[in-house]
A and B are shown apart, each in its own frame.
Chain A
Amino acid sequence: EVQLVESGGGLVQPGGSLRLSCTASGFTLSTYWMSWARQAPGRGLEWVANIDQEGSETYYVDSVKGRFTISRDNAKNSLYLQMNRLRAEDTALYYCARYYDGSGADDAFDIWGHGTMVTVSS
Chain B
Amino acid sequence: DIQLTQSPSFLSASAGDSVTITCRASQGPGSYLAWLQQKPGKAPKLLIYEASTLQSGVPSRFSGSGSGTEFTLTISSLQPEDFATYYCQQLKSYPITFGQGTRLEIK
Tell me if A47 and B97 are in contact (CB < 8 A).
yes
Tell me if B43 and A46 are in contact (CB < 8 A).
no
Interface residue B46 (Cβ < 8 Å from any Cβ of A): yes
Tell me if A59 and B94 are in contact (CB < 8 A).
yes
Kindly list chain B residues whose C-beta atoms are within 8 Å of the C-beta of A50.
94, 96
B98 partner, pick from A46, A62, A110, beta carbons under 8 A: A46
B91 partner, pick from A44, A108, A113, beta carbons under 8 A: A108
A-facing residues in B69-96 (Cβ within 8 Å): 87, 89, 91-92, 94-96
Interface residue B31 (Cβ < 8 Å from any Cβ of A): yes
Tell me if B44 and A107 are in contact (CB < 8 A).
no
Tell me the bound Cα distance from A47 to B34 in angstroms: 14
Apart from A108-B34, A108-B91: 9 A-B pairs, beta carbons within 8 A: A45-B44, A47-B96, A62-B95, A95-B44, A105-B50, A110-B46, A112-B45, A112-B46, A114-B43
The count of residues in chain B whose C-beta lies closer than 8 Å to any C-beta of chain A is: 28
Tell me the bound Cα distance from A112 to B98 in angstroms: 15
Interface on chain B toward A: helix, strand, loop, or mixed SS?
loop
With both beta carbons as reference points, the residue of chain B lying nearest to A63 in the complex is identified as B95
Give the interface centre of B31, B55, B89, B91 by most chain A CB atoms within 10 Å.
B91
A sample of 5 inter-chain contacts (CB < 8 A) reads: A45-B98, A107-B32, A108-B49, A108-B50, A115-B43
Interface residue A1 (Cβ < 8 Å from any Cβ of B): no
Tell me if A109 and B36 are in contact (CB < 8 A).
yes
CB A7 to nearest CB in B, in angstroms, measures 15
Q: Given A44-B101, A105-B51, A107-B32: A112 and B43 within 8 A (CB)?
A: yes
Tell me the bound Cα distance from A35 to B34 in angstroms: 15
A108 partner, pick from B38, B55, B95, B99, beta carbons under 8 A: B55
Interface residue B100 (Cβ < 8 Å from any Cβ of A): yes
CB A23 to nearest CB in B, in angstroms, measures 15
Interface residue B16 (Cβ < 8 Å from any Cβ of A): no
Tell me the bound Cα distance from A112 to B31 in angstroms: 22
Kindly list chain B residues whose C-beta atoms are within 8 Å of the C-beta of A95.
43-44
